[in-house]
Structure 1
Amino acid sequence: MSQSSRILLSLVLGLAVGAMLAGWAPGAVPVTVAVAGPIGTAWLNALQMTVLPLVFSLLVTGIAATAEAARSGAVAARAIALILCVMVFSAVMAAILTPLFLQLAPMPTASGTALRAALAGAAPAGAVPPLGEFLAGMVPSNVVAAAANGGFLSLILFALVFAFALARIAPEQRALLTSFFAAIRDTMLVVIGWIIWIAPIGVFALAVTVAAKTGTAAVGALLHYIVTVSSVGVIVSLFAFPLAVLGGRVALLRFVRGAAPVLAVAMSTQSSLASLPAMLRISEEMGVPVATSGVVLPIAVAMLRATGPAMNLAVAIYVANWFGVPMSFATLCAGTAVAVLTSLGSVSLPGQISFIGAISPIAVTLGVPIAPLGLLVAVETIPDIFRTMGNVVMDLAVTLTVGARSAPVATDSADALLHEGAA
C-alpha cells in the first residue's frame, strides 16, 4: 500500500471511530479528544517547522535553474515564458472560479459550523492590514524577524531578490551558493519524509478529534472540498485543448486522441515524470521535432505545474471561506502571486510535501488558519489525480505550441534541468 493510501485509510478510520464515539459513547469524547488532540497538534507543528527553510531553498534553487535554462537558447526561453504565462493564468482562474463555486454551491452550513467548532484552536494566521500598510509590509526591514513571525510574503520577496542577484555573481560563487541551498532543500525533504512517514498517526488523531466533536458532519465537508478544488483544476486543465489547437496548430480531435494514452499513464502513476516517455512519443507523432520536444518537454515536466497555482490557491480560498476570513482585492492578488511562485518552487515534490509547502505561504498571505491543512492533506490523493492529469495535458499543449513556433535546436540543458527538478 502506498503512503498516500495509508494516509487516506487513516483518515477514514479516524472519522469512523470519532463518529461512532460521538453517536454511541459521548461520555468517552472528552477523554479521546484530550489524548488524540495533542498528538495531532504535535504532528501539525512538525510539518509547519519545515515550511520556512523548505520554501526559501526551493525558491532559490528553482529560480536559479530557471535562469540557467533560459540562458541556454531561444527554444528554452520561449518555453519558460509560456510556462510562466500558463501558471499566472492558472492562479488568476482560481481567484475567479473558487469564490464563484463557493457562492453557487456553498459548504453545507451544518458541516462548516461543526468543523469550525472542532478546530476552534485554528486561529487565523493574523489580521490582514489595510492596503497601504500591506504593500509597505511586503518589503521586510528585518528578514530574520519576518521569517520568525511567519511573514511568508516578505520572505518570498527577499528570496526572489536574492535568487536574481545570485544569477549575476561569478559562476563559481553562484555554484557554491546554489549547492548550499540545494543541500538545505534536500535535508528538509528528508525531514519531511520522516514526518510524512508517521502521517497516518497524526491524521488519525486529527480525524478522531474532529469526528468525535462533529459526528458525520466532517464527511460531507471533505467531500464538498474535494469536488470544489478538483473542479477548479479540471477547468484550468481544459484550457490545454484550445492552447494546443490555436498555439500548436493541431486539430482538436487529433490532440484528444494523442492525449488519451498520456492521461492514462498520468492517472495510473500520478507522476508527470513517469508520463514523459509517452509525451515525447505523442509530440513526435504530432509533428514536433525530437530536437525541440527533447528540450521543451523536460523543462515543462521539471517546471510546469499548470494546476498547481489554481488548486493550491483554491485550497486557501476554501479554508478562508470555511473560517469566514475576509479577503480584500490586494490580499487576493498577493495570494495569486505567491501561488505562482510556490508552485514554481515545488517542482517534482511528492503530493503531501508540495501540498503543505506550497499552500502554507498562501494561507498566511491571506490570513487563513494553517491547522486545517493537516486534515485536508489526507484527502489530497483524489485531487492529486486531477492535478497530474492537468499537468501532463498542459505539458503536451505547451510543447506543441513552442514546437509550432521554433526551429529545431538541440541542447543538453534540458537534461540538466530535468535532473534538478527530479531531485
Structure 2
Amino acid sequence: MSQTTRILFALLAGIAIGILGANLGWTTAATIAEPIGNLWLDALRMTVVPLVVSLLITGIARTADSARGGKLALHSVLLFVGLLWLVTAIAAFLVPALLKLWPMPQQAAAALNAALGQTRPEVGAAPGLADFLKSVVPTNPIAAAANDAMFPLILFATLFAIATTRLDSDARDRITGLFSAIERAMLEIVNWVLWIAPLGVFALAFVVGMKAGTAAIGALAHYIIIVSSAGFVAWALAYPLAVFGGGVRLRDFLRAVAPAQAVALSTQSSLASLPAMLRGCQQLGVPVEVAGVPLPIAVAIFRVTSPAMNLAVALYVAHWMGMDLSASAIAAGAVVAAITTLGSISLPGQVSFLTSVTPIALAMGVPLAPLGLLVAVEMIPDLVRTVGNVTMDVAATTALGRRQRNAKDGEPDL
C-alpha cells in the first residue's frame, strides 16, 4: 500500500470511527486524539520557512540555468512563466465566483470549524495602497520569517535568488550548494513527518468525525470538485494553445497526447510521462531535437496547474472559515502562488501540497489547521494536476516547435 493510499485510508477510517464514537460517547478518546493531530500539524509547520526559502532559491537558479541554454530554452522559460501567471490570474477570479454560485453548506462549515476548534478569523479593513506597499518590503527578513510574514519573506528570497544568478559561477555554486543541502535535509525531516502522517490524519479525522459527523464527507467532496475545477481550466487552455499556437488539428492533438495522459493518470508523475510526451510531439511534427529542449525544462521546473490549484485551496479554506478576503489579500496570495511554484518541482504530492499552499495561506491570513485534513484527499486533485501538466507541456512544446520551424523558414514569429 502506497503512502498516499495509507493517508487516504486513515482519513476515511478516522471519520468513520469518529462517527461511531460519537454515538457511543467516546469523549475521552477525542480528548486524546486532538493534541496528537495538532502536534503532527505543528511538526509540518516547523519545516515550512526553511524549506520554502531553500526550494525557491534553488528553483530560480535552475530556471536561470535553463534560460542560458540558447534561444529555444529562453523562449520555453518565458512561455511557461507566462502560462503560470495566466492560470493563477484566472483562478483568482474563477474560484471565488464558483464558491459564490455553489457555496459550501453552512451547516457543514460550522460543524467542521467546531471539530477543528476554529473560529472565524478577524479580518480588518483592507489596507490602503501605501500601507500595502510598505508591508511588501521586509525591513528584517529574519523577523518576517519568525512572524510567518510569507509575502515579504518570499520577495526577499526571490531577490536574493536573482542576485545569486548574477554572481560568478564559483560563488553561485557555493550558495546554491548550501541551500540545496538545506533543502535535502528539510525534505528528510518532512519525510519523517509524513511517515507518521496516517497517525496524524487519523487523529484529526477522528475528532472531525466525532464532532462533525457525515457533514465532513460532503464538505470534502465539495472541496475536491472546486479545487479540481481550477486545474481543469488550466488543463483546458492546452487545447487552444495547441490548435492556434501549434497549428495542429484538435483531433490530431487529442490522439497524440492520449498515451502521455494515460501514463500520467496511472503514475501521477510528469517525469514518468516524458517518453510518451516526446513521442506525442513527434507525431505532431515536432522534431526530437526541438522537443528535447522545452519538455525537460517543463518537467524539471514548471507545473502549470499548480499555482491555480494551490491558490484555489487557500481560497477554499478562507471560504470555509467564512472570511471575506480583500482584493489585496487575494492578489498577495496569487503572487505567492505563482512564485513558489518554482520550488515545488519533483516533490511528492503531499510535500508539494504543504510547501506550496502553506505560504499562500499565510500570505492571505488564512488558518492552516484545515490543511491537515485536505492533504489526505490530495490524491484525487493530484490526478488533475498531473494530467493537466502533461497536456499543457505537449501543447506548449508544439507551439514552440511551430515557432522554431517558422524561424528557420524565414517566416515571422507567431
TM range (shorter): over 0.9
Q: Is residue 62 from structure 1 mapped to residue 62 from structure 2 by the alignment?
A: no
Q: Is residue 94 from structure 1 mapped to residue 91 from structure 2 by the alignment?
A: yes
Q: Is residue 169 from structure 1 mapped to residue 193 from structure 2 by the alignment?
A: no
Q: Is residue 120 from structure 1 mapped to residue 106 from structure 2 by the alignment?
A: no
- Looking at structure 2, the residues matched to 125 and 309 of structure 1 have their Cα atoms a distance apart, in angstroms, of 26
Partner of 2:343: 345
Give the SS at the match of 1:405. Answer: helix
Q: Percent identity?
A: 52
Gaps of 5+ in 2: 408-414
Indicate conservation of the 8 Å contact 1:309/1:340, yes or no: yes
Q: Is residue 318 from structure 1 mapped to residue 316 from structure 2 by the alignment?
A: yes
- Looking at structure 2, the residues matched to 234 and 240 of structure 1 have their Cα atoms a distance apart, in angstroms, of 10
Distance 1:75 1:197, change over 3 A: same
Q: Which moved more, 1:130-139 or 1:69-78?
A: 130-139
Residue from 219, 222, 225 that aligns with 1:224: 222
Give the superposition deviation at 1:322. Answer: 0.7
Partner of 2:411: none
Gaps of 5+ in 1: 410-423
Partner of 1:110: 107
Tell me how many residue pairs correspond in the alignment. Answer: 406
TM-score, normalising length: structure 2: 0.95
Deviation beyond 6 Å, 4+ runs, structure 1: none
Distance 1:357 1:206, change over 3 A: same
Q: Is residue 235 from structure 1 mapped to residue 236 from structure 2 by the alignment?
A: no
- Looking at structure 2, the residues matched to 244 and 398 of structure 1 have their Cα atoms a distance apart, in angstroms, of 7
Q: Which moved more, 1:149-158 or 1:325-334?
A: 325-334
Q: Is residue 363 from structure 1 mapped to residue 361 from structure 2 by the alignment?
A: yes
TM-score, normalising length: structure 1: 0.93
Give the SS at the match of 1:364. Answer: helix
Supply the AA of the counterpart residue of 2:49.
Answer: L
Give the superposition deviation at 1:255. Answer: 0.2
1:197-212 aligned within 5 A: 197-212=195-210
- Looking at structure 2, the residues matched to 108 and 318 of structure 1 have their Cα atoms a distance apart, in angstroms, of 13
Per-residue displacement from partner, 1:43-64 (whole Å, max 9, x unpaired)?
A: 0000000010010001100001
Partner of 1:295: 293
Supply the AA of the counterpart residue of 1:41.
Answer: N
Indicate conservation of the 8 Å contact 1:17/1:208, yes or no: yes
- Looking at structure 2, the residues matched to 51 and 333 of structure 1 have their Cα atoms a distance apart, in angstroms, of 21
Give the superposition deviation at 1:134. Answer: 2.5
Supply the AA of the counterpart residue of 2:280.
Answer: I
Partner of 1:53: 50
Give the superposition deviation at 1:362. Answer: 0.5
1:128-167 aligned within 5 A: 130-131=127-128, 132-167=130-165
Supply the AA of the counterpart residue of 1:188.
Answer: M
Give the SS at the match of 1:55. Answer: helix
- Looking at structure 2, the residues matched to 160 and 122 of structure 1 have their Cα atoms a distance apart, in angstroms, of 34
Indicate conservation of the 8 Å contact 1:122/1:369, yes or no: no
Indicate conservation of the 8 Å contact 1:262/1:278, yes or no: yes
Task: Supply the RMSD in Å over aligned alpha carbons.
Answer: 1.5
Indicate conservation of the 8 Å contact 1:292/1:408, yes or no: no
Distance 1:360 1:122, change over 3 A: farther
Indicate conservation of the 8 Å contact 2:73/2:293, yes or no: yes
Supply the AA of the counterpart residue of 1:366.
Answer: M
